Structure 1
Amino acid sequence: MSEERKQWIPAADSSVELLSSYGDVESWDVDIADAGVRLDAYLADYYDQYSRSFLQKLVKDGKVLVDNRPVKNNYRLTGGEVLCVQIPQPEQLDVSPEPIPLEILYEDEDLIFVNKPKGMVVHPAPGHSGGTLVNGLLYHCGSSLSGINGVLRPGIVHRIDMDTTGVLVVCKNDLAHNHVARQLADHSITRKYYAIVHGVITEDSGTINQPIGRSRTNRMKMAIDIMNGKRAVTHYRVLERYKDYTYVECQLETGRTHQIRVHMTSINHPLLGDEVYGSRKTPFHLQGQTLHAGVLGLIHPRTGEYLEVCAELPEYFLRLQNSLRNQK
C-alpha cells in the first residue's frame, strides 16, 4: 500500500446500497503491489489507529466489501479489486475521563511529562475505548489539553508502543503542541531508550543508518527498505553485557515506527521479548519487548530553555537485569 492515505471517494452504487444502513463508505482500488496480502492484515495497515480485532469484526459483519461482495478475513488480495469499507466516525467513541493513576514526571502550564506503564495504550480507538493514557489525562487535566489532534487524542503529539514503557510528553495548549511538533519534525528532540537485546554485542557503540518502510511480506510490520523506506538512524551504546544478552542505550536521530525494534533486529540483536520482530525464544515471562523510553529532552515552548525529563527503569526491567547478572 502507498505510504500516503487513499483519497475518500464515493463507493459504487451497489456497494452503497449494501452498506447504506451503516453510513458513508470509503472506497479505493487495491494496489497490485499488495497482491497476496491477507485482507485483515491489509486493513490493519491502512487503519493503524484501530485494533485488528475491531477491523476483523467489521469484515465478519459484512461491512467490508471486495468487488461488491463480502469476504472473510483470510481472503488474499489479488490487486486491482475495489475495496469498500465503513467504519464508525471517531466521535461515536465515548472518550471519558477516568481516575487512572498517572506517574507525573514534570508538569507546568504548557507541558506534562508522564511515565507510561507497560500495557497502556496512549489514546482511545475502537477496540481500546477505555483505560488509555488519554482517559487518565482528561481526568487529571480536564479541558487543559491541546485540541489539534481532535477529541480522541487531546494533547498527544507523539506515541510509544503499548508494551514500551517510559517518558512521553503531552501538550496542554495549541502553542505548545505546534512548538513540540516542529521539534519532532526536524528531529531536534533528545530521545534515549534503554533495551535488552539477544546476543552479546562485541563493539562498545555503533550507528544503524538504514531506511525503514512498511514490510512487503507482512503489512503488519515495518522493515528495512532501501528503495522506498524513509531515512532512519539509531545510535546505540553498550551499557552492560550478560551471558547471552546485552543492555544497550539507543538514541534516536529519527523517529520511525518501531525504529529501534527493526534496527536492532537488522543487526541480529532483536529486543528480548519482542514477538513481532524477534524469533528467538526466551525463558523469561515477558509482556512484549524489553524497551524503555528513559530520556526526553526538548526546547520549552514558552521559556525557550532546554528541558530534559528522565524516567527510571521499571521494576520488571530491574528484576530481569538481576536475573541476567546471575546467569552462569
Structure 2
Amino acid sequence: MTEKERKTRLEVTEPVELMKFLMLKFPEKSRKDIKSLLAHRQISVGSEITSKFDYPLQEGQQVVVNWNKVLIEKQPEGLNIVHEDPYLIIIEKQAGLLSIATDSEKEQTAYSILSDHVKKRDPKNKIFVLHRLDRETSGVMMFAKSEKIQQMMQKSWKETVLERTYVAVVEGSVNKEEGTITSWLTESKAFIMYSSRTPNGGQKAITHYKVLKKNKHYSLLEVNLETGRKNQIRVHMKDIGHSVIGDKKYGSTKQPIARLGLHARVLAFKHPISGEEVRYEASIPKEFLNLFKSN
C-alpha cells in the first residue's frame, strides 16, 4: 500500500464541525468508528492532530485521515474510550460500574475492564488510577499509562485539573438559581459522609451549582467542584434540601430513572507532557433530559 493509499485528504468547502464532516465523508463508518479514529489521533486538520469531535472546521482547510495505524477496536463493555495518547486514557464510564475494586468487591471495574483491554494490544501495557467516580455516577474518568505520569499528575492535581463539572438531577424545584455550598465532611464507620457547616476536623468541601432546567418535580443542576471529596455532591445536595434522585443513602425518596442522577460531564486539565489545556465534555444523559420534557 502506498503512502497516498494510507492517507485520505479531504478539502473543507464550508464551516462545519469535524464529526459532522467525517460522518458525511464516510457514511459507511459508524459514529463509534469515527470517535475511535479521533481517540487514536488519526485525524489532523492542516498539520495539527486533533481528537476533538466538535473541532470547528473552516472553508479551505484540509482534513487528513491516517489509515496507516487504524485501530478501530471494539469498545470495552461498560465504558467508552474518548481519548488516548501515549500518556493518558480518558473514558466515559456507565452508571453502575465500580471505578476500582474494593476489599469486599472484586467484580469487574472500570479499571479491570480497561486494563484487560490495553493488555490485549500488548501484555506489558498497564494503566494507573488518577481519580475515581462513585459506582452509580456516570461520566468522564482519566487513567495514566505509566506510574511516572500518575505521580506527576497526582502531586500537582489542584494545579493540573482546571475544571471538573457534573450535572445532577435533584428532587424538587431549586429556588436559588446559583449558589456555593461549603462544609466540612467526615466519614462514619458505616461509610456515610456527614457534613458540618463549621470546622470539625473533617475535610473542607466546596461545591458551586447553577440551575439549568427545572419543573415542579425536579431540577437539573450544573455542579462545579472546587474540592473533590468522597460523595461531596451527594452530601451537599442533601444539605440544601434537594437530594440527588435515586440517592437513598443521602435522603432521596424518588427514583424515576432507575439510577443515580449524577453525571461527570466535563474534565479539563493541563496535559502533563505538552502543557496544553485539554478539555473533554460528555453529553448530558438522555434520561436526565427526558424528565424536563413538557407533556
Shorter-chain TM range is: 0.5 to 0.7
1:133 matched to 2:113: no
**What corresponds to 2:277 in structure 1?**
306
Where structure 1 has 5 or more consecutive residues not aligned to the other structure, the ranges are 1-97, 146-153
Asked whether the 8 Å contact 1:100–1:135 carries over to 2, the reply is: no
SS at match of 1:202: coil
TM-score normalised per structure 2: 0.67
TM-fit CA distance, 1:100:
3.4
Asked whether the 8 Å contact 2:257–2:287 carries over to 1, the reply is: no
1:223 matched to 2:204: no
Asked whether the 8 Å contact 1:171–1:177 carries over to 2, the reply is: yes
Where structure 2 has 5 or more consecutive residues not aligned to the other structure, the ranges are 1-74
TM-fit CA distance, 1:179:
2.3
Aligned-partner Cα distance in 2 for 1:105–1:197: 27
1:326 matched to 2:290: no
1:165 matched to 2:146: no
Q: Deviations over 1:182-206 (max 9, x none)?
A: 2335584410000011121122211
Q: Percent identity?
A: 32
Aligned-partner Cα distance in 2 for 1:101–1:285: 18
1:282 matched to 2:254: yes
Aligned-partner Cα distance in 2 for 1:140–1:231: 37
**What corresponds to 2:125 in structure 1?**
144
Asked whether the 8 Å contact 1:187–1:255 carries over to 2, the reply is: no
Aligned-partner Cα distance in 1 for 2:141–2:282: 9
* Residue among 152, 163, 173 paired with 1:190: 163
Q: How does 1:43-192 map to 2 (within 5 A)?
A: 100=77, 102-142=79-119, 143-145=124-126, 154-185=127-158, 188-192=161-165
Aligned-partner Cα distance in 1 for 2:254–2:195: 24
Coordinate RMSD, CA, aligned: 2.1
SS at match of 1:219: coil
Q: Deviations over 1:66-106 (max 9, x none)?
A: xxxxxxxxxxxxxxxxxxxxxxxxxxxxxxxx963630111
Q: Structure 1 residues 188 and 285, CA, compared in 2 at 3 Å: closer, same or farther?
A: closer
Q: Structure 1 residues 230 and 124, CA, compared in 2 at 3 Å: closer, same or farther?
A: closer
Asked whether the 8 Å contact 2:78–2:93 carries over to 1, the reply is: no
Give the counterpart letter for 2:287 in structure 1.
R
Q: Structure 1 residues 306 and 277, CA, compared in 2 at 3 Å: closer, same or farther?
A: same
TM-fit CA distance, 1:313:
2.4
**What corresponds to 1:51 in structure 2?**
none
TM-fit CA distance, 1:130:
3.2
Q: Deviations over 1:46-65 (max 9, x none)?
A: xxxxxxxxxxxxxxxxxxxx
TM-fit CA distance, 1:223:
1.3
1:240 matched to 2:213: yes
Asked whether the 8 Å contact 1:294–1:311 carries over to 2, the reply is: yes
Q: Structure 1 residues 122 and 252, CA, compared in 2 at 3 Å: closer, same or farther?
A: same
Aligned-partner Cα distance in 1 for 2:255–2:131: 33
Q: Structure 1 residues 320 and 231, CA, compared in 2 at 3 Å: closer, same or farther?
A: closer
1:210 matched to 2:187: no
Aligned-partner Cα distance in 2 for 1:167–1:183: 19
Asked whether the 8 Å contact 1:187–1:254 carries over to 2, the reply is: no
Asked whether the 8 Å contact 1:105–1:311 carries over to 2, the reply is: no
Deviates more, 1:189-198 or 1:175-184: 175-184
Bigger strand fraction: 2
SS at match of 2:115: helix
Asked whether the 8 Å contact 1:112–1:169 carries over to 2, the reply is: yes
Q: Deviations over 1:219-243 (max 9, x none)?
A: 3210113312211101101101112
Aligned residues: 215
